[in-house]
Amino acid sequence: MELTFKSLLLLAAAFYFLLRITAYLLIAHQNRIFAKSHNCLTPRRFPSSFLGLPNWVRVMRAAKRGDVLEHIASRYPTYGNTWKGRILFGASIGTIEPENIKAMLATSFKDFGLGPERHANFYPLLGDGIFTLDGAGWEHARANLRPQFSREQVSDVGALEVHVQRLMNRLPEGDGEVADLQSLFYCLTLDSATEFLVGESVDSLLSPELNPTGDVDGGKEEMSFAQAFNVSQTYLINRTRVRGLYWLINTKRFRDANAIVHRLVDKYVDMALHPEKRARKISEKKYVFLDAIAAETKDPKYLRDQTLNILLAGRDTTASLLSFTFWLLARHPHIYKKLREEILLAFGTGRNGEGKHPSFSALKDLTYLRYVLNETLRLYPPVPLNGRSALRNTVLPRGGGEDGLSPIFIPKGQRVDYSCYALHRRKDLYGEDADTFRPERWGEGIGRGWEFLPFNGGPRICLGQQYALTEASYTVTRILQKYARIEVAGTHTGPTMDLTLTVAPKKVLLRLWKA
């Protein structure tokens, strides 16, 4: 019998599919043996018709409405603290079980990573940096950053005072006048983070124009940086939502925004490579991250990637914490009053030479302030959604079976998502009033383990935790020293939260009174 080209092609295709099916069955068999030997049971199913397409549409609709965090959190009470389903064709596992998160971040750290998808998705903005790398690249990036966060560096509240003072100068002097604190906090954290990390501040709080959306836009390069940074991050989260199809979302707007962000960072990289171009001399006692890595390599792309990753970490997270703190305080006047009493007792009003500026160690003694910040981080963790990918076949300790108490099998390549937003609102962990802002609960012995994770845990725990808490404590203290009372101004319609890689309230429009 003579074989035509067409029949040869058909034969090859059949052989290929047979090989694929055999490989699939073999892997499924091995996985079953692995799961059985670890006593794994199947997690509860999250309904996923049509390969999870309707689930994905629901997420996209919630994102448009601005309530995607609540939408995701609403799955847990119905389907258990760990469930498995499908979203946009792929298998999806979600968990808010502290034991599982602890396994991914600490006890089985080597079995989990950020995964290749995160690297490829974030690469156009962040390149190869601490937020995109696993393994040796991550270890190196983290080792370079560690000296930046020594106690000596982090406790320098004098460096913060300059920027906080500029923020205060932009607050209204007349009693009962309105300010949008959210946009000011984004400028504050950008200014202080650039000074802290690259040795020179962008000084956005000195810009004459601050537009009300939280972006600064004064026509100068550094002014459009904030806007571009927001646009780029919105694209990154949208790319994450379409999973393996992230490469389809690569518009000119995304590329332009990335280019603007890169241009600003390149300016600092250039200064680090040519210190004679610096406007200000940096104290030799100070560790400046960018200068330290520039002494190690002259590769501008490497320097840009490392710097941009840490700027991303430093700006939005602390601005989110500050914004939500004031958003909540304005809605709970008795808590504002109690917190102010603690602050005035320790430091006075700081006005006309009366009282004093808070020191690093004295700030740490303010118990109620710590409770208020913890409670804000609990209800509104700045990084509300996170996840890890399995680097090899592995196991998570909880979620299997109807009672969810048995281990579950996680195959290599599987992503597991966790929501700190939902975890922090679990009623069995925080009580029936878990949705209520009640700082006093932090005096009742809660949140000591893996059920409170605003800064993550394990070897990849946030490096900037102390710096962020110091900046937030200092800023809250200085504002409360000055203002006796705050009130929500006007009613804001539409989505109340902005979710990119971090979450922040859309606006924090407040009226402020000095007396």
Q: Which residues are annotated as a binding site for heme?
A: 462
97 vs 471, beta carbon nearer ligand HEM: 471
Do 23 and 58 contact (CB within 8 A), yes or no? no
User: Minimal CA–CA distance to 458: which of 98, 106, 100, 97?
Assistant: 106
Alpha carbon distance 462, 455 (integer Å): 5
Please report how close the Cβ of residue 198 comes to ligand HEM at its closest, in angstroms.
11
Contacts of 270 (CB under 8 A, 6+ apart): 277, 300
Which lies closer to ligand HEM via its Cβ, residue 145 or residue 308?
145
Binding site for ligand HEM (CB under 6 A): 130-131, 142, 145, 193, 310, 313-314, 317-318, 321, 382-383, 386, 454-456, 460, 462-464, 467-468
Sequence-distant (≥ 6) Cβ neighbours of residue 398 within 8 angstroms: 81, 82, 95, 97, 99, 100, 404, 405, 406, 407, 408
- Could you tell me the strand order of the sheet in which 177-180 lies? 177-180, 509-513, 485-488
Give 31's contacts (C-beta < 8 A, 6+ positions apart). 393, 409, 411
User: Which residues, 6 or more positions from 400, have their beta carbon under 8 angstroms from its beta carbon?
Assistant: 40, 41, 42, 43, 406, 407, 408
Q: Which is nearer to ligand HEM, 462 or 480 (CB)?
A: 462
Q: How far is the CB of 241 from ligand HEM (least distance, A)?
A: 17
Cβ-based nearer residue to ligand HEM, 195 or 215 = 195
CA distance 385 to 507: 21
Rg (CA), the chain: 25
Q: CB 102 → ligand HEM: shortest distance, Å? A: 14
User: Measured between alpha carbons, how far is 435 from 419 in angstroms, rounded to an integer?
Assistant: 15
Contacts of 339 (CB under 8 A, 6+ apart): 329, 368, 369, 372, 476, 480
The CB-of-121 to ligand HEM minimum distance in angstroms stands at: 13
Smaller CB distance to ligand HEM: residue 124 or 387?
A: 387
The least distance separating ligand HEM from the CB of residue 463, rounded to whole angstroms, comes to 4
* Alpha carbon 293 to chain centroid, angstroms: 24
Asked if residue 467 lies in contact with residue 289, where contact means CB atoms within 8 angstroms, the answer is no
Least CB distance to ligand HEM at residue 486 (A): 21
Name the residue whose CB lies closest to ligand HEM: 464
Residue with smaller CB distance to ligand HEM, 124 or 454 = 454
Binding positions are 462
52 or 115, CB closer to ligand HEM?
A: 115
Token pair 């009226």 is at which residue?
Answer: 511
Q: What distance in Å separates the CA atoms of residue 299 and residue 312, rounded to the nearest whole number? A: 20
| CB nearer to ligand HEM: pick between 381 and 399 | 381
- DSSP class of residue 47 equals P
Helix/strand/coil for 452: coil
Nearest distance in Å: CB 256, ligand HEM: 26
Length of the chain: 515
Query: Shortest gap between Cβ of 104 and ligand HEM (angstroms)?
Result: 10
Measured from the CB atom, the residue of 76 and 452 that comes closer to ligand HEM is 452
Assign residue 512 a region: left if phi > 0, alpha if psi is -120 to 50, beta otherwise?
Answer: beta
Detail the DSSP E strand segments found in 445-490. 485-488
CB of 455 to ligand HEM, least distance (A): 5
Nearer CB in complex with ligand HEM: 306/394: 306
- DSSP string across 77-98: HHH-SEEEEEETTEEEEEE--H
Q: Give least dist CB 261 to ligand HEM, A.
A: 17
